[in-house]
A and B are shown apart, each in its own frame.
Chain A
Amino acid sequence: MSLLLLLEQTLNGIQFGVFLFMISAGLTLVLGIMNVVNLAHGSFYMLGAYYAATIMAWTGSFILALVIMLPAMLITGIVVEVLVLRTMYERDHMDQVLATFGLILFFNEAVRMIWGAESMPMDIPAFLSGHVDFIPDAPYPIFRIAIIIAGLLVAALLYVMITRSRTGMLIRAGASNRPMVGALGVNIRMLYMVVFGMGAVLAGFSGLMAGPILSVEPGMGEDMLILAFVVIVIGGIGSIRGAVVASIIVGIFETVGRSILPALLTQLMSSDAAQSMGPAMSSMLIYIFMAAVLFFRPEGLFPARTG
């Protein structure tokens, strides 16, 4: 295990964390503000990837894919909100879970019917291909660096929006004290729609960035959804700051843990045992971490809700 490899894995971890952050950000706000569990959030990630891959296949342009995908996701998100989610705000969590589970089944099957069950190829755009040598002797793909930068930009943008703008202030107030926002006479329906649509756009953007690296296939959103839940539990519901920190932690645990733990175990026990223990233990790592966080801080690391 060389230091270089560790550095590279850490970067990969951060980059995976960026995907997770972009998915979790919308999900945690929807949970915090509307108190709605939306399992179909993973489907937005999948749809974003499919929209983008399709446009790229037609036009060959990554930029065009980006430009068309974002409003398309906004529309998709708003349609889902108006048709299904809106009727669910007053229902209990059980109903929300089942209804949005129905949405997942629908979206996965729709994707399978339209694009087929096979995974869909998506190329890294030419202007972001290639490697840089900023770590000596370890060329690192430019696209992955671009993902990290994009993630940082999105996080910064969200931060500024939520702390500076009026909408952002309402969002923050909503995440910590829902009845108050209603009492302020704000158009709650509109606010919910905007937040939900934005969440869909962010998840779709994550899908677009993940497309060329991970595979674009039906059901690709579900694993990410579960990890996003882990992120939210660790970070605290409704907290963007928590989502940032927890995403990076989970991202690094997922990638670095998977490569280091087996190596670490080999030094501790026979290589045979390590061979079988390694993957098993590293797949459980983040969940054990989550359980530990819950044990000490049942509300997550950065609880947004007070009182």
Chain B
Amino acid sequence: MTDPILKGPILKVQGLNKHFGGVVATDNLDFDVEPGEIHAVIGPNGAGKTTFVAQIAGMIKSDSGSIMFDGGEIAGLSAHARSRRGLARSFQITSIFKEFTVIENVAMSIQAHDGHSFRFWRRANTDPALMDPARALLDRVGLGARAEIVASNLAHGEQRQLEIAMALATGPKLLLLDEPTAGMGPEDSQSMAAFLRDIKGEYSMLLIEHDMDTVFALADRITVLVYGRAIATGTPEEIRGNDEVRAAYLGEEA
């Protein structure tokens, strides 16, 4: 699928718009993610960050704009088709299969990318083609010991880890992470940040995050979103030194 001649950003968003009634959620947004890079999006509450992720992932249809991913236009595709192209997301509000075991949750992601599922007869939860890679992935994110536990019984921090594991299990080219540390205590947050640093370079990432320490430690580039508009994009140092950003956002925090 990758066009060898058009080497460039893995994700390139141009002129993206979304209105809800009279409210502008995304305002003519341009955005890109280079291969292997972590591009973070920050902004005050209500800036339209989650809407932006949902638009890229295909849960919300955009009013207009282009979303080029891995050399192809995906703006018209459904969420599941985008996932098949190699786009994976995690949710700000934990979205897992609560009634299933941890390993079944991950196996579900693997199954989604292992051909069609019109397979009616063989047992799925003993199928090594699903369970072996699921177990390997759980070991990697540190949930190996919790594999057989029903997901709803996991602690909050563990559920957030599972959330990421399910995204990784789809074998993505780009990860859309919507506040991976949401609701976590400082200790869990730090281990999540450490994990993300660990897989950095392996995956391209669009990271939405509230915790500034995490963002400035991880991101290669940062875009500041205010009322659906990108007011600045740059390296962490450039963003720190940007007066407009300071006025609109960081100033408030300080």
Contacts and interface: CB of A to CB of B under 8 A. Distances in A.
A306 interface: yes
Interface in B20-36: 20-21
Contacts, number: 3
Contacts of A185: none
A307 interface: yes
Contacts of A307: 20-21
A17 to B, nearest CB: 32
Contacts of A306: 21
Interface string B140-181: 000000000000000000000000000000000000000000
Nearest to A307: B20
Interface in B198-234: none
Nearest to A306: B21
Size category of the binding interface on chain A: under 10
Interface string A280-307: 0000000000000000000000000011
Interface string B1-43: 0000000000000000000110000000000000000000000
A101 B20 CA distance: 38
Nearest to B20: A307
A306 B21 CA distance: 9
Contacts of B20: 307
Nearest to B23: A307
A306 B20 CA distance: 9
A303 to B, nearest CB: 13
Interface string A181-211: 0000000000000000000000000000000
A93 to B, nearest CB: 19
B88 to A, nearest CB: 26
A152 B20 CA distance: 35
Contacts of B21: 306-307
B32 to A, nearest CB: 29
A307 B20 CA distance: 7
A217 to B, nearest CB: 46
Interface in A250-307: 306-307
B63 to A, nearest CB: 14
A12 to B, nearest CB: 41
A222 B20 CA distance: 39
Interface in A195-236: none
A172 to B, nearest CB: 15
A307 B51 CA distance: 13
A299 to B, nearest CB: 15
A292 to B, nearest CB: 23
A306 B22 CA distance: 12
A294 to B, nearest CB: 19
A298 to B, nearest CB: 14
Top 3 A-B pairs, shortest CB-CB distance: A307-B20, A307-B21, A306-B21
Interface of A: 306-307
3 contacts: A306-B21, A307-B20, A307-B21
